[in-house]
Amino acid sequence: MSARFSLRNAGRHRKFAYTLISSAVLGSALAVGAAVMAQDGEEKREPVRDDPRPVETNELPSGEHLYELSAPRMHGRILIFPPGQDPPKAEGENPTAGWGFTPFYDLDSARKAGLIVSPDAMPPGYAATSGSALLAVKPDGSSEFTTAGAKVEGSGFPIDIYRSRTSQYFANQPYSLPAWLSGNVMTTLGEVGGKPAVFVHRRPGVTTSELQQVFIEDDGWVILVESYLDDFQKLVRVAESVLANSKVGQSNGR
């Protein structure tokens, strides 16, 4: 969905894996099932809006602003590690061995998988335009949604939204993210709806459009909202809505 987010993110800033459900863990079936959420690329999309000039960042989101980090640390159940280091790798047997995956490419399936955005939480003029979901079928015949994605579009940059059971969750490992300590974006550790959240946002004084992200850990689920929109609080409002509306999809899927 996003031009910059990938299961093996190769974007200009993100030189590591933002793995919601790793293709290395779940195999090629996931790579196919989550294709709309795994598009590599480094080109920014051109905004379609009345005033294309980015708005300068003057305020930071509430939370702990990271300006240095020498060792990994936990924020709730999210592991934050210094740039240049590798996240810890899961050890032991693959807990998802033998699972099958069925992809769906519609908004209704994304909603059934627990990804719902209230219209009043979207920026004015924005609406959900596409969605997807991935249903995992286990060897015992039971099934559950493990991934959902949606795109919200309007007069400006689109907003991409994801809600997934992480590969780390199935391996009993914390979800891992790097801290951005230099460049046009920075990391802030905060909360959304009482849940631990990691904000990747523009630094004060930055006037270029940058990929900004809200990560929320919600009892084994990771919610990600990302966009090049300049107003970071618009992303936070969408993330709050997704969190408030989150519910686990029914085991029988559709």
Evaluate if pTM is beyond 0.75: yes
Q: Looking at residue 36, what DSSP letter applies? A: G
Tokens standing for residue 35: 């294709």
Decide: residue 27, CB within 10 A, 0-12 exposed, 13-18 middle, 19+ buried: middle
Q: What is the pLDDT of residue 74?
A: 96
Residue-wise pLDDT for 179-233, tens only, equals: 999 999 999 999 999 999 999 999 998 988 999 999 999 988 999 999 999 999 9
Give residue 235's pLDDT: 97
Q: Provide the CATH number for the domain around residue 80.
A: 3.30.200.100
Domain ranges, residue 75: 23-42+56-245
Number of domains forming the structure of the chain: 1
In a domain, 18, yes or no: no
How many residues are recorded in the chain?
254
Q: Residue 51 domain-assigned?
A: no
Q: What is the CA radius of gyration of the chain?
A: 17
Confidence of residue 59 (pLDDT cuts 50, 70, 90): confident
Assigned domain for 8 exists: no
Residue 31 is given by DSSP the state: H
CB-CB contact of 135 with 101 (8 Å): yes
Residue 90's pLDDT band (boundaries 50, 70, 90)? low
Residue 50 placed within a domain: no
Confidence class of residue 39 from pLDDT cuts 50, 70 and 90? very low
Please enumerate in sequence order all residues whose Cβ is within 8 A of that of 184, keeping only pairs 6 or more positions apart, or say none: 202, 203, 206, 208, 210
16 found inside a domain = no
DSSP 94-121: -TTTT-EEEEE-SHHHHHHTT----GGG
Q: Are 164 and 188 in contact (CB under 8 A)?
A: no
Q: Where are the beta strands (DSSP E) in the chain?
A: 64-66, 73-75, 78-81, 100-104, 127-137, 143-153, 159-165, 175-178, 185-192, 195-202, 212-218, 221-227
252 within some domain: no
Which two tokens mark 44?
């920014």
Q: Is residue 109 part of a domain?
A: yes
Assess contact for 189 and 159: CB atoms under 8 A. Answer: no
**207 within domain boundaries:** yes
